[in-house]
Every structure is written in structure tokens, then in C-alpha cells.
Structure 1
């Protein structure tokens, strides 16, 4: 069984509708796919209907933007949470608003050196979608400044760039707790992706584990090989779920559906723990 538990549609920063993403997953030979748009669940219904029509398994999820006490960005995958749990929705609304302000500030900085405007960025963002750096990257591509998103993130949109702007976000441990309260299963996304920027210290991991962290995304193209070994050891020590995924964004990134996969037994553990909503399996 081929299972990919981390993908994005144009509800956040992917380039395909939820239905198109599901069709692409079926074409790629996947058996089960999760939709994990940033801070949004608006694509669930369309994706679920498309999966049912194509005979594909579907796991509803989300990727929550967090920041630890050291100012390091953390992405938390949430599976099978209640999409109407208000305390979590309140935090997500704050996060989405802060992402807009942050994106506007990044564009202002970039505009000092490059022919880019907020209007150009808005052209690459679907109405109601969670705006973020990927949309800025798309604007940079369309302006001919970079050739693709990955180049933008490796340079001017990197956390090491002078154009980078951080933004306030929920703490990882608090996010883990809210996901559990909502009946979801929290999994730390690409924890050892050092090429993206700073990775969190062990203390952040332990705080998340104490709060109820369910798993770690080990098999991801942005985790280093040494990082994967460390994550596997951590998962064994604390009996965490181990996932693998593509982090697919359509044509927005080089990531391809099914390039990393999750073992069926690990998906079973997620389904057993998730009580907020149901998977289609």
C-alpha cells in the first residue's frame, strides 16, 4: 500500500485544486493520500468526494504554523482533528492574519531590489487561501527573477536572507495540546530540515512530546540523513509514529507525489488515535 500523508492544494500554497490533487495522487499510483493545507481545512470536502469517486483512501489533515521560544519556525501536521473545534480555529485565525502582515513586509523589502509588488503576489493566491512565502516565490518566478520556488526559498526567501521576516505564531507545545483536544493526531513535520533554516533544539522536542506529540515525519526530502537517524532513535525511545511523505505542492515545488511513503501500520496508529473526524479508507 502506497501512502503519502503530506500534500497541499491551492486552498493554501499548492497549485492544484483539492480534486485535481486527488486525481494526480491516483495517477501517481497512491492508495492513500492526506490533504494538509496550511492552517486550513476548507479543501477537505472536495478532496474526500474526489477520493471516493476514484476509489482512493483519504486522510483529512492540516499543517499548523508554529514558532518555538527560540524564534524557530515549526510546522505541525494534524490528522483527523475536529475541523470545528473553536479554540484551535481561534489560534489558526491569528496565525493566518500574522502571515498576511509578514508576507506584506517581505514584499516591501524585496521591492527595494526587485520588480515585485503585493498585487503581483495576490495574483498567485486563491481567494481565501492562506497567503505565505510560496505565493511570493511564485511572483518571483513570474517576474523572471528566479526559475522556480525552490530557488527562491534557497536564496531571498530563506530564513538567513536579509529579506526574511519572522512572525508570531502559536507555540509548538500549545498546538500539540489543541490538536489532541480536537481529537487529532499531531506529527512534527520535517523536523531536521536544516537547509530550510534553523532546526529546533531537543528541549522543543521534549516539550512537544510532553504535550502529547504523536509522531515525527522522518522520511522527507528536506531532512538530512543524520537527522533521519536521530529522528528514528527518538521515535523508538518515545514510541512515536513514523511517517514519510512528499510535501507535494503541485508545480510549485520539485517534490513529487509518493517520493516518500508511510508504512500501513503507522497509518493504522493514526486512525486508531484520531477521534475528531474519520478517514476514508
Structure 2
């Protein structure tokens, strides 16, 4: 069973619309995908509608939410969420607003560095999606200050860059609880870099954590083996995905480019089926 459970569309900072992404997934022979935009569920309905004419493809409604931890952030993926849940929609709207505020702060910092881009242009690039750093990177590149989006991140807007700014975020526990409240399965995204991962997991399991993303776009075999052992030890499901945004210049993993064992996908789907029967 071929799957990709970590994909972004124009509803956040991806290049392709939900409709385009779904059709691309079908053309690649994928059987299961999840739409997991940053702080947004706006791409789910059009993705599901497009998938109605593609009987070989199952689309899972999802979301990816950043959380606040000392010296960094942790992302949580929510799968099988009730994407019309009012509380979820309202909270995600607050988080998207904080992305706008963060982007404006970064533009001001860039100006102090002699890098002048317009907020209006960043909004144009983002379109109806959540404003994110890739949109700022594109604006910087368009102005000729850098040669690529990757260079923009490395020089200016990466976490260690001089124009980086934080945004409003929730705690990991709060996000896991929010996903569970919206009838979703909460999974830690790209967890290999999380400090004290095995200390964190029991805390999050108490509020409903269901799994960790073991198979991820850039992970080497050693990292995958370690995370698989962690998932097994703590009784968590193992998921995986490419984190595809459609931004080839960032040297990302292509859609469907992560080999997720079929048994992991089946266990993931079965866990949700058992929940709905309970």
C-alpha cells in the first residue's frame, strides 16, 4: 500500500492547490494521502471533493500545528479530524493571524538589514493560504537579494537567521488535546530532533498522543530504526510522509518519496476504524 501522510497545499505554504495535489497523488499511484496544512483545514473540502472521482485514492483530513517549547518548536499532526469543528476552526484562525503578525515583524527586520520587500507582495504570493516563511523567501528571491529560497532561509529567515521572528504558539499538550477534541489522532511530526523525546512521550500519551512520524522525508536509516523502536516501546503507531510543499528548490523529498511499510499504514487506518466503531 503506497501512502504519503504529510502533504501541504496552497491552503498553507504549499505550491499546489488541493485539487492539483490530489490529482498528482493519483497519477503517482498513491492509495492513501493526508492533507496536513499548517494551521489550516481550508484545503480539506476541495481535496475530498476531487478525490470523489478517483476511487483508488483515499484522502485523510489532517492538519499540522506548531507548538511552543524552550529553544524551539514541536509540530503535531492531526489525522481524521472533524474539519468543520467550530472550536478547531476558530483556534486555527487565531494561529494564522499570528503568522501574519510574525511575517510583518520579519519584513521589518529584513528592512533593517537593507532587504526591502513589500507586505502586499508576500500576501499576493500566499494567496488564500496561511502566510509562511516560504512566501517571504520567494519575495526576497524575486527582488534579487538571493539566488534561491534556500539561500533566503540560510542567510536571513531560518531559525538562526537575523530576520527570524517567533509567533504565537500553544504548548504541545494543548495541541494534542485540541486534536483529540476534534476527533483526531495526534501524531508527533518529524520527531528525530526533539530533545528528551522519550521523556516527553508519556506526558503526551496522558492527553491522547497516538503516534510518531517514524518515516520522514530526510531521515536516514539509523534515525528510522531508532524512532521505530521508540514507537514500539511506547505502544504508538508509526506514520510517515514526505512533508511535500512542491518547492523543488528547497531540495525536499518528492510526494510519495518516503517508503512507509504497508503494515504501518494498515495499523494506522485500522486504529481509526476501531475508534469509529467504539
TM-score, structure 1 length as denominator? 0.87
Specify the alignment match of 2:184 in structure 1.
184
For the structure 1 residues 48 and 229, does the alpha-carbon distance in structure 2 shift closer, same or farther, using more than 3 Å as the test?
A: same
Spell out, residue by residue over 1:23-72, the C-alpha distance to the aligned partner (whole angstroms, 9 max, x if none).
1112223222111111111111211122221332211111112112x142
Q: Confirm or deny: 8 A CA contact 1:243 1:263 kept in the other structure.
A: no
Q: Secondary structure at the match of 2:126?
A: coil
Matching residue within 254, 261, 277 for 2:251 = 254
Matching residue within 236, 239, 242 for 2:238 = 242
User: Quick one: distance in 1 between partners of 2:140 and 2:49?
Assistant: 34
For the structure 1 residues 24 and 144, does the alpha-carbon distance in structure 2 shift closer, same or farther, using more than 3 Å as the test?
A: farther
Q: Secondary structure at the match of 1:167?
A: coil
Specify the alignment match of 1:22 in structure 2.
22
The reply to whether residue 67 of structure 1 matches residue 72 of structure 2 is no
- Report which structure shows greater RCO (CA 8 Å, sep ≥6): 1
For the structure 1 residues 107 and 49, does the alpha-carbon distance in structure 2 shift closer, same or farther, using more than 3 Å as the test?
A: same
Q: Confirm or deny: 8 A CA contact 2:240 2:258 kept in the other structure.
A: yes
Gaps of 5+ in 1: 194-198
Q: Confirm or deny: 8 A CA contact 1:3 1:263 kept in the other structure.
A: no
TM-score, structure 2 length as denominator? 0.88
User: Quick one: distance in 2 between partners of 1:51 and 1:71?
Assistant: 40
User: Quick one: distance in 2 between partners of 1:220 and 1:210?
Assistant: 25
Matching residue within 214, 219, 231 for 1:218 = 214
Gaps of 5+ in 2: none
RMSD: 2.3
Specify the alignment match of 1:58 in structure 2.
59
Q: Confirm or deny: 8 A CA contact 2:41 2:89 kept in the other structure.
A: no
